Amino acid sequence: MPHSLLPAHVRTLIAGLALSLGAAANAQCQWTLASPGRPTVPGDPPIRQNHMGVFDSFRSKIIVFGGFLGGFGSYGDTWSWNGTSWSLISETGPIARSVHAMAYDAARDRIVLFGGNAGGALGDTWEWDGESWTEVFPATSPPARFNHAMAYDSVRNVVVLTGGFGAVRYDDTWEFNGTTWTQRTGGFTNFTGRNGHAMEFDPSRNKMVIFGGFITGNIRVGDTWEMGPSGWTQVATTGPSGRQYTGGLTYNPDTQLIYLFGGQIGPASGDRMNDLWSWNGTAWSLVHPGTPAPTPVPSTEPNRRDQHMTIYDRARRQLVVFGGFQGTGLGGVAGDTWTFTCPVSSCYPNCDQSTGSPLLTANDFQCFLNKFAAGDTYANCDGSTGNPLLTANDFQCFLNKFAAGCS
């Protein structure tokens, strides 16, 4: 429903709210070892690094493909995580590879995979439909590359690809609409060419976000960029220290924050991190400090690592970290699975799932607006079953529940 069709008193209240978003309270959040991996759990994926994963929102599972195991080569297997255990779901499809990129296209219910490294840069495009992989052959494709980043823009329904390394270190932006790849020009090459960076789409602000990476001169950067209609703009140079191989950025729709875990800040074995950060569209906040080297990491949190996977599991409302590289040699390759979970409020108007005091704030109104605009069934506050499902009555319902507070 357009904002102009809402009741006047609802529009007035919404317009008067301060809608700045901060980091979620984290005092009660905790890391949990969900699975130690092989050999303790023989059904888990073999240890690996530089694998890629996405959250399949239709099936409520995390899907992981590929990865690397030192001198033993790369993997070509596909695994799923259901919040409790791993399952091997395919051993056919794309050739074995690592440092590729994937994104879940929710509009078409397809996971899109592009490129990677298999003894050289790859430039192929594949799609996973929930059952099997199919190679697609767009009329136009990006140059072959690896160590690039991809994310799905849920507003324009396109997969966005940036950067990477191949014939050169790229500073380009490409979009895939399910049929062909299109290169964006002009301001879409504003960011410094990089690889090993991370990217995620923030639907609450309609912005694609890039963080960090490796640029010419062997420099690990800690800058943040956002993509608008005319291209990329640098929006921050402070926050997490310059790093690469962070395991990706991941968006939490409950807190409307983008999260980053770990990564590599230097060339030494001790230059890996296990800190957790959040981005609210304005600034980075440290959610969990981790344990910097050389202090031993306690058993209550994941070890320092890079080349891992970090995904927000929207069905179970927790961050999931899997695998990666923790140090020198084959023994440094990990196969463990960790979750980071914060208490979830059962109070309906606490839309952003904050745990601070006061519990209900202006952020909850913005959260409700975003879910309403996205057609999220959460916004069906009045429980109606008509068409359209979401109406102005849901705003009045939310206002009433907010006014009643949480007991």
- How do 257-264 and 249-252 pair as beta strands? antiparallel
Cα–Cα distance, 115 to 100 (Å, whole number): 5
Q: How far apart are CA 85 and CA 91, in angstroms?
A: 18
Same-domain check for residues 354 and 271: no
Is the same domain home to 58 and 203? yes
Query: What is the total residue count of the chain?
Result: 407
> Where is the domain boundary, 325, 341, 357?
341
Nearest to 48 by CA among 34, 63, 65, 31: 65
Are the CB atoms for 112 and 102 separated by under 8 Å? Answer: yes
Give residue 123's domain range. 30-341
Q: Examine the domain organization and report whether 18 and 83 are in the same domain.
A: no
Q: Residues 116, 210: one domain?
A: yes
Say how many C-beta atoms besides its own lie within 10 A of residue 12's C-beta: 10
Last residue within a domain, chosen from 302, 324, 341: 341
Tally the C-alpha atoms within 13 A of residue 360's C-alpha that lie toward its C-beta: 17
Residue with tokens 């080569």: 73
Q: Does one domain contain both 14 and 108?
A: no
Judge if 188 and 277 occupy the same domain: yes
Residue 161 to residues 143, 146, 378: CA-CA distances in angstroms? 11, 11, 30
Q: Which of 294, 324, 341 is the last residue of a domain?
A: 341
pTM of structure:
0.82
For every residue of 89-106, DSSP letters joined together read EES-SSPSBBS-EEEEET
292 plus 229 within the same structural domain = yes
Cis peptide upstream of residue 2 (ω within 30 degrees of 0): no
Same domain, 248 and 328: yes
Total domains, the chain? 2
Q: Are residues 337 and 354 in the same domain?
A: no
CATH number assigned to the domain comprising residue 92: 2.120.10.80
Going residue by residue through the chain, which has 407 residues, state the pLDDT in tens, using 9 for 90 and above.
444 445 555 545 444 443 333 333 344 799 999 999 999 999 999 999 999 999 999 999 999 999 999 778 999 999 999 999 999 999 999 999 999 999 999 999 999 999 999 999 999 999 999 999 999 999 999 999 999 999 999 999 999 999 999 999 999 999 999 999 999 999 999 999 999 999 999 998 999 999 999 999 999 999 999 999 999 999 999 999 999 999 999 999 888 899 999 999 998 888 999 999 999 999 999 999 999 899 999 999 999 999 999 999 999 999 999 999 998 766 799 999 999 998 766 788 888 877 778 889 998 889 999 888 877 778 888 888 788 888 999 999 999 888 888 86
What are the tokens at 400? 């009433």
- Token reading at 221: 């950067």
User: Do 15 and 147 belong to one domain?
Assistant: no
Say yes or no: 12 and 121 in one domain.
no
Q: In this structure, are 252 and 332 located in the same domain?
A: yes
Q: Are strands 333-341 and 30-35 parallel, antiparallel or unpaired?
A: antiparallel
Task: Tell me how far apart the alpha carbons of residues 278 and 342 are, in angstroms, rounded to a whole number.
Answer: 14
